[in-house]
A and B are shown apart, each in its own frame.
Chain A
Amino acid sequence: MSTIDAALPMPAPQGSFWSRESSLRAWLTTRDHKRIAILYALGISFYFFLGGAAATLIRLNLVEPTGALLTAENYNKAFTFHGVVMVWFFLIPSIPTTLGNFLLPLMIGARDVAFPRLNLASWYLYMVGGLFTVAALLAGGVDTGWTFYTPFSTMFSNTNVYLVVVGVFVTGFSTILTGVNFIVTIHTLRMPRMTWFRLPLFVWCMYAVSLVMVLATPVLAMTLALIALERLAHLGIFDPALGGDPLLFQHLFWFYSHPAVYIMILPAMGVVSEIIPCFVRRRIFGYRFMVYSILAITVVGFMVWGHHMFVAGQSMYASLLFSILSFVVAVPSAIKVFNWTATLRKGDISFEAPMLYALGFIGLFMLGGLTGLMLAAPALDIPLTDTYFVVAHFHYVMVGGSVMAYLGGIHYWWPKITGKLYSEGWARAAAILMFFGFNLTFFPQYILGYEGMPRRYHAYLPHFQVLNVLSSAGASVLALAYILPVGYLLWSLRTGNKAGDNPWQARGLEWQTSSPPPQENFLTAPTVREAYAYDEAAP
């Protein structure tokens, strides 16, 4: 089952996966999951800053009620660009393809993922789809919003809908293939004694998220193909003028896009579940309940999509059913928050940068989740949906949650990946700045939504201005906080101190090999124990 042979003759250390064959050609044809993770990290960072540039335009424009910077047309294209790029080219692939790719084989003691060539193919699909989409978005742009609602997207928009739809379609296959790869890897390549209930929660989250990727993404592909066909051939599937049904589109779209929310948040939960026990020096509280809640979120998450459609014209009874299921799916998330908090009790807590990100994650994810509960009640969703309340809600989950966890993970595993230590002072400052900048940006948006400001508005009534200016001020703090890590992390590659193999004294298998790991991952077989054995001596 395992590719690790304990009797492997110890070769003279040939250096890490970084140092072998460093030509561009070697990198672009690599089948090493660690190098592919680095390739993904470069792509994802590129798209993150592109999406962030669009967000900057949006927030600058909303400083003035009449729209300070952009025309209505360009504003609509800017928020579409922001949504499409952030959802499909940053959030969905972010943690699984970078940290997941790098760590999953290491955490289960494998030599690589099950299908290394497929893994590289996934990266190419991702980059081709992404660059194609970005080109389409820049060359004229698209004004449909990332949700492509029909019949606007099929019959009314005069923008490059085809090209963007094709780009997202192609990238969807990258997601599906990554999911397949991870599922097979976890099933077949765990080393001896690495049983299911010894898996780190990060691996469980990768497993759950892969299931969602494989089951949900094909529906997105079908839906996007139908949009293109409807535009091209006037099939009459979504257009009521031809006897179609625009609500059918929304059902199909959210059948993918709600589970997609769990594609974005489950990996974040996995990262935080690794960081907290390490800096608390304690086993995670309620390991098995954490596993069950991951699985519960995965299953129930497929049955709540209709809560996006309470005012869309869906039947009242359907809305009530989706409402109760949405409350149900919140229970396992609540369990996770309580368990993380309980892990702190009786711990030996230190507050290095990854831990600050993880604690920030708990707070922001909780606020996003609790406001999600309000939106799960149709009676409250009616006034709040399609206002800034919803914008604030999903940014708390996606940005406060997923991005904080992603950056927490990057900091936590940076010494593992690069072998270098970054400046702890700068890293803590960035984490704290990010937390405050984030709240200043998005908390005012909850109030704006309650006050009735609809989303996707290029211009607004003057009495909404104070809160909009606060939000834009917060966004500039947030932008600074996102740029800082680029600086000190890259700087650490040049000047950072050597990290040693396990600077955090962490217990995961990935820390039992050298940092950075050799191409073979492990030169001697690691010792498998219970996950998070912080109460036992390091092996």
Chain B
Amino acid sequence: MSEFAWFLTQASSLAPQVDALFWFMVALCGTVALGVICAIVYFSIRYRRGSPADRSGEPPSSLPVELTWTLIPGVLFTGVFIWSLFLFVRMRTPPADAQTIYIVAKQWMWKAQHAGGQREINTLHVPLGVPIRLTMTSQDVIHSFYVPAFRVKQDVLPGRYTQLWFKATKLGHYELFCAEYCGLDHSKMGGQIVVMRPSDYARWLEGHAGPGTLAAQGAALFRARGCSGCHGPNASVHAPDLDGLYGHPVQLAGGSQVIADERYIRDSIMLPDQHIVAGYQPLMPSFAGQLSEEDVLALIAYLKSTSESSHEHD
């Protein structure tokens, strides 16, 4: 993978689609540039000072000519925009059956958590041919998850979750870079994506099992950190019941409504004063600084799992 090649490897389902647009644009722009340069060279030779060329009677401006070279680029650009639009929407919309892997970035490493509870650093094992959705956050500054061979890149921000998806189509090891400047060792914040056959991937998962699935780890945290004391079935405090909450609308004090997604849950844990559920007192303490981003992700995985038993939610 570290060999120089004129054509970058295409290792995801998106890569050939991106390359088609890229090479089309190279051809289009190359043609325009070549045309203009040829015109400049031709005029420069033909109309050089002292040449015998005829220079008579040309208006210094022409409306039809101006409109022509306004409208032609306009139409071409619109076409390219529409092509890019459809591709971009596809790149930003994970398929419904994508498997989620969580990524936490920090200066200067990438940490991954698989749904089965497996954790790894600066390496990400993924199965071939299965759509993977990465839900990512940062512990400190902004980073950017970039895999050139997949043609995917997404900034990873502190305090919110961003997403990226891909479907690997080629076995092998691919470079992972941090693409957003993040301080001293930005250039060393890299790693590898290892694309494996699904059977090998299953074996790898088995060999690297952690203390239970991510949801199970979250359930343990839910008890250990005292969440269940207020939000559990036997709670003495008046706090919202969280069972099956994920993916459902929540009525907030003040009349607005939000969908309980990953970001809502994270904010409710770290910045509880931001969204107060209608009919409840703002009693919840902030867990900022007490729970790591990995812990929060495990809690989210747990809350999701309580939702999935009754509803099918993505």
A494 to chain B, nearest CB (A): 30
**Contact between chains at A311 and B155 (CB < 8 Å):** yes
The reply to whether the CB of B148 lies closer than 8 angstroms to some CB of chain A is yes
**Contact between chains at A350 and B49 (CB < 8 Å):** yes
CA distance A283 to B55 in the complex (A): 13
Interface residues on A, range: 35 or more
**Contact between chains at B77 and A327 (CB < 8 Å):** yes
A453 to chain B, nearest CB (A): 8
**Contact between chains at B180 and A143 (CB < 8 Å):** no
Q: Out of A240, A344, A346, A385, name the residue touching B40 (CB < 8 Å).
A: A344
**Contact between chains at A311 and B144 (CB < 8 Å):** yes
Name the CB-closest residue of A to B177. Answer: A454
Contact partners of B40 in chain A: CB under 8 A: 341, 344, 359, 362-363
CB-CB contacts below 8 Å: B163-200 with A: 175, 177-188
Interface 0/1 of A431-452, CB less than 8 Å to B: 0000000000000000000111
B71 to chain A, nearest CB (A): 9
Q: Out of A316, A341, A459, name the residue touching B89 (CB < 8 Å).
A: A316
The reply to whether the CB of B237 lies closer than 8 angstroms to some CB of chain A is no
Contact partners of A464 in chain B: CB under 8 A: 4
CA distance A373 to B77 in the complex (A): 8
Query: For chain A, what secondary structure do more than half of its interface residues adopt (helix, strand, loop), or is it mixed?
Result: helix
**Contact between chains at B29 and A373 (CB < 8 Å):** yes
Name the CB-closest residue of B to A316. Answer: B92
Contact partners of B36 in chain A: CB under 8 A: 337-338, 341, 362, 366
A321 to chain B, nearest CB (A): 11
The reply to whether the CB of B259 lies closer than 8 angstroms to some CB of chain A is no
CA distance A143 to B141 in the complex (A): 14
**Contact between chains at B47 and A380 (CB < 8 Å):** no
Name the CB-closest residue of B to A153. Answer: B141
The reply to whether the CB of B22 lies closer than 8 angstroms to some CB of chain A is yes
Name the CB-closest residue of B to A387. Answer: B179
B106 to chain A, nearest CB (A): 11
The reply to whether the CB of A286 lies closer than 8 angstroms to some CB of chain B is yes
The reply to whether the CB of A149 lies closer than 8 angstroms to some CB of chain B is yes
The reply to whether the CB of B152 lies closer than 8 angstroms to some CB of chain A is yes
The reply to whether the CB of B102 lies closer than 8 angstroms to some CB of chain A is no
The reply to whether the CB of A175 lies closer than 8 angstroms to some CB of chain B is no
Contact partners of B146 in chain A: CB under 8 A: 386, 452, 454
**Contact between chains at B61 and A287 (CB < 8 Å):** yes
Contacts A373-B29, A383-B153; is A145 near B181 (CB within 8 Å)? yes
**Contact between chains at A380 and B3 (CB < 8 Å):** no
B34 to chain A, nearest CB (A): 10
The reply to whether the CB of B271 lies closer than 8 angstroms to some CB of chain A is yes
The reply to whether the CB of B91 lies closer than 8 angstroms to some CB of chain A is yes
**Contact between chains at A311 and B154 (CB < 8 Å):** yes
**Contact between chains at A378 and B61 (CB < 8 Å):** no
Contacts A149-B181, A246-B158, A341-B40; is A331 near B77 (CB within 8 Å)? yes
Contact partners of A370 in chain B: CB under 8 A: 29, 32-33
**Contact between chains at A73 and B184 (CB < 8 Å):** yes
CA distance A348 to B52 in the complex (A): 10
Contact partners of A241 in chain B: CB under 8 A: 158-159, 288
**Contact between chains at B60 and A320 (CB < 8 Å):** no
**Contact between chains at B157 and A247 (CB < 8 Å):** yes
Contacts A349-B49, A450-B8; is A283 near B60 (CB within 8 Å)? yes
The reply to whether the CB of A488 lies closer than 8 angstroms to some CB of chain B is no
The reply to whether the CB of A13 lies closer than 8 angstroms to some CB of chain B is no
The reply to whether the CB of B39 lies closer than 8 angstroms to some CB of chain A is yes
CA distance A131 to B250 in the complex (A): 55
CA distance A454 to B176 in the complex (A): 11
Contact partners of B224 in chain A: CB under 8 A: none
Query: For chain B, what secondary structure do more than half of its interface residues adopt (helix, strand, loop), or is it mixed?
Result: mixed
A93 to chain B, nearest CB (A): 26
Contacts A246-B142, A362-B36, A466-B4; is A373 near B47 (CB within 8 Å)? no
Q: Out of B44, B66, B149, B188, name the residue touching A289 (CB < 8 Å).
A: B66
**Contact between chains at B142 and A149 (CB < 8 Å):** yes
A372 to chain B, nearest CB (A): 10
B33 to chain A, nearest CB (A): 6
**Contact between chains at B69 and A338 (CB < 8 Å):** yes
Contact partners of A362 in chain B: CB under 8 A: 36, 40
Q: Out of A312, A366, A458, A466, name the residue touching B155 (CB < 8 Å).
A: A312
Interface 0/1 of A472-492, CB less than 8 Å to B: 000000000000000000000
CA distance A282 to B73 in the complex (A): 26
Please tell me which stretch of B78-86, B206-214, B228-236, B306-314 contacts chain A, meaning at least 4 of its Cβ atoms lie within 8 angstroms of it. Answer: B78-86
A150 to chain B, nearest CB (A): 8
**Contact between chains at B84 and A379 (CB < 8 Å):** yes
**Contact between chains at A313 and B157 (CB < 8 Å):** yes
* Residue from the set A149, A282, A346, A383 with the largest chain B CB neighbour count within 10 Å: A383
The reply to whether the CB of B160 lies closer than 8 angstroms to some CB of chain A is yes
The reply to whether the CB of B70 lies closer than 8 angstroms to some CB of chain A is yes
CB-CB contacts below 8 Å: A288-339 with B: 288-289, 311-313, 316, 319-320, 323-324, 327-328, 330-331, 334-335, 337-339
* Residue from the set B4, B160, B271 with the largest chain A CB neighbour count within 10 Å: B4
**Contact between chains at A379 and B88 (CB < 8 Å):** yes
B7 to chain A, nearest CB (A): 9
CA distance A458 to B181 in the complex (A): 11
The reply to whether the CB of A243 lies closer than 8 angstroms to some CB of chain B is yes
CA distance A245 to B157 in the complex (A): 10
**Contact between chains at B88 and A289 (CB < 8 Å):** no
Interface 0/1 of A143-168, CB less than 8 Å to B: 10101010110011100000000000
A296 to chain B, nearest CB (A): 10
CB-CB contacts below 8 Å: A373-426 with B: 373-374, 377-380, 382-383, 385-387
Name the CB-closest residue of B to A280. Answer: B47
**Contact between chains at A156 and B157 (CB < 8 Å):** no
Contact partners of B177 in chain A: CB under 8 A: 452, 454
**Contact between chains at A345 and B43 (CB < 8 Å):** yes
Contact partners of B44 in chain A: CB under 8 A: 344, 349, 351, 359
The reply to whether the CB of A500 lies closer than 8 angstroms to some CB of chain B is no
CA distance A327 to B28 in the complex (A): 14
CA distance A259 to B144 in the complex (A): 25
Contact partners of B271 in chain A: CB under 8 A: 243
Contacts A387-B179, A454-B178; is A363 near B37 (CB within 8 Å)? yes
Chain A positions near chain B (C-beta within 8 angstroms): 72-73, 76, 143, 145, 147, 149, 151-152, 155-157, 240-241, 243, 245-247, 280, 282-289, 311-313, 316, 319-320, 323-324, 327-328, 330-331, 334-335, 337-339, 341-342, 344-351, 359, 362-363, 366-367, 370-371, 373-374, 377-380, 382-383, 385-387, 450-452, 454-464, 466
Could you jot down 12 A-B contacts, CB within 8 Å?
A: A72-B184, A76-B186, A289-B66, A347-B55, A349-B48, A363-B37, A363-B40, A377-B25, A386-B180, A450-B8, A459-B188, A463-B3
Given contacts A72-B184, A285-B60, 19 further A-B contacts (CB under 8 A): A76-B183, A241-B288, A246-B142, A246-B159, A286-B60, A313-B157, A330-B77, A334-B69, A344-B44, A345-B43, A371-B29, A373-B29, A374-B29, A377-B25, A382-B91, A458-B187, A459-B188, A460-B187, A461-B2
